[in-house]
Amino acid sequence: MTDALADGEYPVMVRIEDALGNVEMATWTLVVDTVAELGTTPPTITAGGHLTGTGEPGASVTLTIAGVTTVVVVAADGTWSVLLPSGFAAGTYSVNVAIRDLAGNTAENSFVVTIAPTAVLATTGSSAHSSIATALALVLVGGYLHLTAARRHRVRVRR
């Protein structure tokens, strides 16, 4: 074969005949995979502190952010997620993402992600209400304030 095959699956059929005329046949699927898929969008940081992204299922992803390196495997649905270590302050960080797929292909890219500041909630009232601060999360994401409350908690926002 002189032309390279494009990435994809190809049926391979083999027919073997010996000197006595005995014939054996077998069929396999040849998978050509020459590119590691890094994902189509930059990684993002969730309000829960997870760095998430996409890639080729089964691939190994090496992430480096602020000198901290973590390795994670892309799930069957094409997503990966890793909890950021504590101690990252709000701000903008460069994330290096290197991926190695099951065929050994590699790809690498750098992205910029922003960790939004988390607000501290002031609480007032009796000790019966002291758990309210732990039941609320207030996060600034992309210029919007997101407030999350546990069930059975009322939230009132005042200017």
Domain total for the chain? 2
Do 141 and 79 lie in one domain? The reply is no
Do 57 and 69 lie in one domain? The reply is yes
Do 103 and 123 lie in one domain? The reply is no
Report whether pLDDT(111) > 70.
Answer: yes
Tens of pLDDT along 21-72? Answer: 999 999 988 877 777 776 657 888 877 778 888 888 899 999 998 888 999 9
Residue 153's domain comprises 116-159
Do 87 and 134 lie in one domain? The reply is no
Tracing tokens 């502190």 back to the chain, one arrives at: 49
Compute φ and ψ for 126, nearest 5 degrees: -75, 170
Domain final residue pick, 79, 100, 115: 115
Does residue 10 lie in a domain region? Answer: no
d(CA 50, CA 6) in angstroms, rounded, equals 36
d(CA 66, CA 75) in angstroms, rounded, equals 25
Query: pTM for this one?
Result: 0.57
